[in-house]
Each structure stands twice: as C-alpha cells, then as structure tokens.
C-alpha cells in the first residue's frame, strides 16, 4: 500500500500537536506541575513518534523517542522540572518542527542539530533525574504486579473496507505495538489479536494517519487464554485507582520509580481523556484552501447573477408576476444565507494568532532582563483566514516593540512606582463589519518632544502645534526611530512603515493612543473578510464607484463660506472647527460631465489612518454588499482603486482605495494637513 498520499495528513496533525505541546509547556506551573498537562504533552510526543515510525521518518522518530522518555519521567515526578529544563523542552519542540519541515520538503533533517539536541536531552536525563527519592511504601503493592507483566493486554483490532493488498502492510504496522497473536481477513475486513502494553487510543491515533476513523475499531478482549492477564490488569487498575485517590488527598504519597510507567499511564490519562478519534473525525473535515476559495468564487458569481435577475424583475407588475417576484425574494434570502455560510468556513479564531506570542514574550523578556505578563482577550473572535495569516507579521513587530521600547526594566518600573511585572495585552473584538485588534502595554509611553525633535532632525516638515495623533503617526515614517542604540531586537527604524503598509493593503488602518509614563495602545482596524465588502455606491458623472462603508463618517452639503483655498489652488473645507482637505474624484479619475461646483455636490467625510478628509461626489446611490474582484489579476493596478465588483446590471464598478486617495490628496497639495490648516489661518 502506498502511504505517501497520507504524508500531508501526518504533517498537519503533527504540527498541531507540536503547537499544543508548546502552549502546554509555557503554561506549566514549575512549583506544582499539573498532571493532566504533563500527560497531554507526553501523548503529543508519543503520537508524533508513532506516526514518524509508520512513515519511516527515522530522525524524527528517534528524537521524539528520547524526548518522550524524559516527558515520561516528568509526568511520574522522577524529573525535577525547572526553567532550564522547560527551555530545553521548548528548544526540542523547535527542533522537531525543523525536522518535520525537512521531511515535508522531502529533505533530510540536519544531522548536527539532531546530535546536539539528543546529547542535550541525554545530559538532562542524567543530571536532573531525582534518583535519590525513595518510592513511597504505600505504592509498592501496586508496582509489583505491574512489573510482573499485568500491563500487557489483549486487544482486538478490526479494520474494515480494506483491499487484500493493504492487509500485509497494516499487519506489519500494528506489530510495532506488540505481538500479533492472530490475524484473519475476510469480507474486506481484517481482524487482529494483539498483545500490547500501549494504550488503544495511541494505536488508533497512528492508524488514523492511513485510514479513516470509521474503518477502525479497537477494544480490549475479555475471557479466553488471556483472561488471567486481563484480570490482573483490572486488579492493578482498581488498586491504582484507590492509591490515586489517596495521592490526591496527600500529594506526598505519589508513587515514584522507574517501573511505574505501565501502571500509572492509564490512571493518569483518565481525567484528561479526549473524545475518540472517530467522533472528532466525524465532526470535522480537512479541505484544502483552494477548494474553499473556488466555492467562495462560485457563490460570489451566484450572488452577482441573483442581483442581475432582481434588477431585471424590478419593473414587473406584482399582480401579474407575483409568483415570480416571490421566488426572486426567496432566492435573494437563500443566496445571502449561502454566502454567509460559505464565508464562515474561511473564518478562523484569533486564538490561532495569539497562541504564537507566549513563547515570543517569554524568550524576549528573558533576553532583555524584563518581567512581563501576557494577557489575551477575545481569542474566540473570528477573522478571515487570508487576513489572519497576513496579520501575524505586523502583530509580531508591534509586540516586539512593546517589549523592547515600551515596558521598562523592573528596577526602573519600581523607581516610577509601578509593579515590577509589566503587562502586555493582546485583544480582539468585532466592531460592526470590522475587527478591532489592540496591542497595549503599561510601559513608558511615547515621548512627544523626542519624536518631534527626531522628525525635525530628519528633515520632516512639521508644525509644533500639531495634534498628538499626528505626532504618533510620525513613527510610521520609513527609517524613523528614537532608540538611543541599535540592538538585534529593534532600533533601526525598519518595520513600523511596513506594518502600516501591510495593514493598508488589507483594507484596514492603524492608529496609536499613548500617555507618557503610563503606556501605549496600537489599534488595528480590519475588515472581517476581503471577499465581500459592505460599501456605498456613489456616482461621479456617469461612473459608479464603491466606497467602503467602514471608511465613511458622514455625508454633507456645504456652503460657499465653508470653502477655502491653500496656496490659491487646493481646496479645504471647514467642518465643525476642523479644516479638511478636499479630494474631487472627477479630477482624480478624469471623469467628464461631473459636478464641479462643490456646493451642488455631496461631500463624503471619510477616515484613513485615524485622519479625516473629504471626497466630492455627484450623487449617493445606495448601500450594497458587493463581491470583491481582484483588479490586478484581471487587468492592472490603478492608483486610488483597490478592487472592482460587478453590479446588478452587469456593469463594473471600481472600489475606491481610501488611504491611496488620501496620499493622492497629499501629493497634490505637497504638504501635510497640519500645514494646510495653518495656511488657512
């Protein structure tokens, strides 16, 4: 049987197990390790080892085998856990990830790295083992029968829907877990009797790499020649349960000893037992992203077709065509529900992103000599998969900045009357059709005077009376940094401009809130998905444009006295004490026959990067939910336009890129908004 087709499943599941392992290692309380967490870490390593052995990934198998032995000692309290050991365990997890990626790329893992990590793990096994602690006397009666072989059980394994050619290979794989006493193949079903000390769940987990869970049934045999063994195992389990109850009341009585593995593993696993593989497999289905994207595109086309039909039937007589109009209304509801259901498939929880940062915060804080607590809020908040993968790098840079520049050293915090332990908060929440992501710290905050001084020395034209919001936006300028010295963490002024650009490319914007001496908050606002957009359609001349609804603050009509000119050319409008630059869309896109009188058109107040400016349009058409089509793929990049969509009448409407329009406005003025406002005054 060719098992290479199951490689991808193994790689994905092993990657999930490694991520879970890292998460659990970071959560461990070294003073009082949780048995369930230790058992879960051990099971993850054990499952990876079994899968690696099945597929012939020898280096990965040998590394996890050594790692598994140490984890087994740790969960039986034979290994004293400390920060050094956890650091080495995390390094081992990184090494396992590298080995997994090597096999994924059809390469052999680095042999030097393999030797190094194995040597380190063996050294830990020799130096850190608590060999001098005697096993409690109360636990001795339980250990004796297990050492005599009561841990061996007879398992009946039934594999269905098999071809005869698959039987030999599967029998060999199952033989790795013990001794095959009997095997029989009939009616596409393979029945195997196996003597093994391995848990049935672990054997099933490995088989699930090559078979569907519905094909696998494993149960412990009762009666027959193996009845004495089964009875002995049951007796040991019963005695172990009683001892476990005593141990829970008196932790000091927990058994130790090199031979305790077989007896303790089943009992310690029981509280943390997970749902069976068949149940989890039936509840979820792995589908490639390409297939999901194809379905989303087809549903988008369906929605466009539905809009066309709806527009066609608008002029029909409801009395004569009542049944047709009723059907169209039902089609509209069903298409909308289908669209939302399909889009939800691409949604992933922010937990996928946030789980990457405990390790980063721990390592970087230790490197910089800081004490930092990471708090995450809103991990269940959902975001489109395409966006959630692209937001990781910007968030990583913001977190590193908060740790390096924001949160002070413990001694400095104490001198300022703060807690030695700094607090870094990652939060996510839905806000209308957007998601709001914040990176907050209780550190030193931004220094306005230092930023202004750096801006002036860099030749950036600014005014001393600009607002704090505009000052904070200066740190997004390329090459801008107020760090006193460059480190390998940050200080070169590279990164924040990339953060801003990446977020703008995702249709969002970033703003900063800061209070000197108390901390800073970087806020990122993103649309929930890039496939569908809530927008307002506006008309300029005979052209229709779509303006993202989240960028619109209000729409107004202005009077002549509210219009001013800067340098005799560019126009600004006065709205409630604030001067806003005016972008006339007909000039940006050279639209003929458009409204040129500002007082006769509609002025849309929009926001970008936390700043406001005005757009002049001829007419508001209405609010729509449109399917976004990539313009660069189908045509080319157009300045000021982010994408396109197909309207109900079959025409193409351009979706405006609000940040780009603001940049166009700045280029036309050749100055910052603050200078424009100063010129008006």
Tens-place pLDDT, residues 555-590:
998 888 888 877 656 788 888 888 888 888 888 888
Among 3.10.20.30, 3.30.565.10, 3.90.660.10, 2.60.40.10, name the CATH number for the domain at 349-527.
Answer: 3.30.565.10
Q: Is the pLDDT of residue 507 over 70?
A: yes
148-230 is classed in which CATH architecture? 2-Layer Sandwich (3.30)
Please give the average per-residue pLDDT across 628-645, as a whole number: 81
Contact indicator for 203, 218 with CB cutoff of 8 Å: yes
Strands (DSSP E) along 550-631, which ranges?
552-556, 563-566, 570-575, 578-584, 602-608, 611-617, 619-627
User: Which SS3 state, helix, strand or coil, does residue 595 take?
Assistant: coil
**Residue, of 128 and 538, whose pLDDT is higher:** 538
> Is residue 471 very low, low, confident or very high in pLDDT (cuts 50, 70, 90)?
confident
Could you give the C-alpha distances from 424 to 361, 374, 421, 468, 518, in angstroms and in order? 9, 5, 10, 22, 12
The pLDDT score that the predictor gives to residue 395 is 92
**Residue, of 569 and 6, whose pLDDT is higher:** 6
Of 296-305, 390-399, 454-463, 471-480, which one has max mean pLDDT? 390-399
Helices (H) and strands (E) in the chain, counts: 25, 22
Q: Give me the chain's average pLDDT, please.
A: 78
The residue ranges of every structural domain in the chain are 4-133, 148-230, 289-345, 349-527, 532-680
User: What's CA 273's distance to the chain center, in Å?
Assistant: 26
222-243 residues labelled b (16+ CB within 10 A) or e (exposed): eeeebeebbebbeebbebbeeb
The pLDDT score that the predictor gives to residue 551 is 83
Q: Is the pLDDT of residue 520 over 90?
A: yes
Q: What is the CA radius of gyration of the chain?
A: 32
Quick: pLDDT tens for 57-77: 889 988 998 898 889 888 888
pTM across the whole model: 0.63
Q: Which of 601, 547, 548 lies closest to 571, judged by CA?
A: 601
Q: Is the pLDDT of residue 254 over 60?
A: no
Q: Is the pLDDT of residue 377 over 90?
A: yes
What fold characterizes domain 532-680? OB fold (Dihydrolipoamide Acetyltransferase, E2P) (2.40.50)
Q: Is the pLDDT of residue 249 over 60?
A: no
Among 267-281, 537-551, 644-658, which is the least confidently predicted range? 267-281
Percent of the residues in the chain that have a pLDDT greater than 70, as a whole number: 80
Among 1.10.10.10, 3.40.50.300, 1.20.120.160, 3.10.310.10, name the CATH number for the domain at 4-133.
Answer: 1.20.120.160
Helix (H) or strand (E) holding 216: strand 216-220
The pLDDT score that the predictor gives to residue 411 is 93
**Residue 105, burial from CB neighbour count under 10 angstroms (0-12, 13-18, 19+):** exposed
Contact indicator for 585, 547 with CB cutoff of 8 Å: no
**Residue, of 281 and 608, whose pLDDT is higher:** 608
Q: What is the 3-state secondary structure (H, E, C) of 493-557?
A: CCCHHHHHHHHHHCCCEEEEEEECCCEEEEEEEEECCCCEEEEEEEEECCEEEEEEHHHEEEEEC
Quick: pLDDT tens for 153-175: 888 899 888 877 778 777 877 87
User: Which SS3 state, helix, strand or coil, does residue 462 take?
Assistant: coil
User: Which SS3 state, helix, strand or coil, does residue 184 take?
Assistant: strand
Quick: pLDDT tens for 290-309: 888 888 888 888 888 888 88
Q: Is the pLDDT of residue 552 over 60?
A: yes
């Amino acid at each position: 049987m060719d098992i290479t087709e199951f490689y991808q499943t193994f790689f994905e599941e092993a990657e999930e197990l490694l991520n879970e392992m890292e998460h659990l290692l970071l959560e461990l309380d070294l003073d009082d390790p949780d048995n369930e967490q230790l058992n879960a870490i051990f099971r993850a390593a054990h499952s990876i080892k079994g899968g690696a052995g099945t597929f012939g990934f020898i280096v990965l198998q040998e590394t996890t085998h050594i790692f598994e032995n140490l984890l087994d000692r740790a969960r039986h309290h034979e290994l004293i856990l400390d920060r050094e050991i956890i650091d080495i365990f995390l390094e081992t997890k990184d090494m396992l990830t590298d080995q997994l990626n090597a096999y994924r790329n059809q390469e052999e893992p680095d042999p030097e790295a393999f030797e190094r990590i194995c040597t380190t793990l063996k050294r830990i096994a020799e130096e850190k083992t608590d060999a001098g602690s005697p096993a409690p006397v109360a636990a001795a009666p339980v250990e004796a029968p297990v050492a005599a072989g009561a841990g061996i059980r007879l398992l009946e394994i039934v594999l269905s829907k098999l071809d005869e050619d698959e039987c030999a290979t599967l029998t060999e794989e199952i033989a790795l877990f013990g001794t095959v006493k009997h095997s029989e193949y009939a009616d596409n079903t393979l029945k195997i009797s196996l003597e093994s000390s391995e848990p049935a769940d672990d054997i099933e987990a490995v088989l699930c790499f090559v078979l569907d869970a519905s094909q696998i049934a494993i149960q412990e045999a009762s009666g027959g020649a193996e009845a004495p063994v089964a009875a002995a195992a049951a007796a040991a389990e019963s005695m172990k349960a009683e001892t476990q109850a005593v141990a829970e009341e008196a932790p000091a009585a927990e058994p130790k000893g090199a031979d305790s593995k077989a007896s303790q593993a089943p009992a310690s696993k029981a509280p943390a037992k997970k749902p069976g593989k068949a149940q989890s497999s039936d509840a979820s289905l792995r589908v490639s992203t390409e297939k999901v994207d194809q379905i989303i595109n087809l549903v988008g086309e369906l929605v466009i077709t539905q809009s066309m039909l709806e527009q066609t039937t608008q002029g029909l007589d409801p009395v004569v065509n009542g049944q047709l109009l009723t059907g169209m209304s039902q089609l509209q509801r069903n298409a909308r529900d289908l669209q939302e259901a399909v889009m939800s498939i691409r949604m992933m929880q922010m937990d996928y992103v946030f789980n990457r940062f405990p390790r980063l915060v721990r390592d970087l804080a230790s490197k910089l000599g800081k004490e930092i607590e990471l708090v995450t809020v809103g991990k269940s908040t959902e975001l489109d998969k395409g966006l959630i993968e692209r937001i990781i790098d910007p968030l990583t840079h913001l977190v590193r900045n908060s740790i390096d520049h924001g949160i002070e050293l413990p001694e400095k915090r104490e001198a300022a009357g703060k807690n030695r332990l700094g607090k870094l908060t990652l939060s996510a929440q839905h806000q209308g059709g957007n998601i709001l992501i914040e990176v907050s710290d209780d550190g030193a905050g931004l220094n306005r005077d230092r930023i202004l001084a750096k801006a002036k020395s860099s030749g950036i034209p600014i005014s001393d009376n600009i607002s704090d919001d505009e000052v904070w936006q200066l740190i997004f300028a390329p090459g801008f940094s107020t760090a006193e010295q460059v480190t390998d963490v940050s200080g070169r002024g590279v990164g924040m401009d990339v953060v801003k650009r990446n977020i703008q490319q995702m249709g969002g914007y970033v703003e900063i809130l800061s209070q000197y001496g108390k901390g800073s908050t970087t806020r990122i606002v993103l649309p929930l998905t890039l496939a569908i957009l809530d927008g307002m359609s506006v008309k300029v001349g005979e052209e229709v444009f779509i303006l993202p609804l989240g960028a619109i603050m209000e729409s107004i009509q202005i009077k002549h006295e509210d219009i001013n000119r800067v340098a005799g050319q560019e126009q600004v409008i006065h709205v409630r004490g604030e001067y806003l630059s005016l972008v006339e869309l007909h000039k940006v896109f050279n639209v003929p026959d458009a409204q040129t009188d500002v007082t006769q058109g509609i002025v849309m107040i929009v926001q970008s990067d936390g700043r406001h400016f005005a757009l002049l349009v001829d007419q508001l058409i209405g609010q729509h939910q449109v399917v976004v089509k990539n313009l660069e793929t189908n045509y080319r990049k157009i300045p000021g336009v982010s994408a396109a969509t197909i309207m109900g009448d079959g025409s193409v409407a351009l979706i405006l890129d609000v940040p780009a329009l603001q940049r166009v406005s700045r280029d036309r003025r050749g100055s910052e908004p603050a200078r424009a406002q100063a010129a008006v005054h």
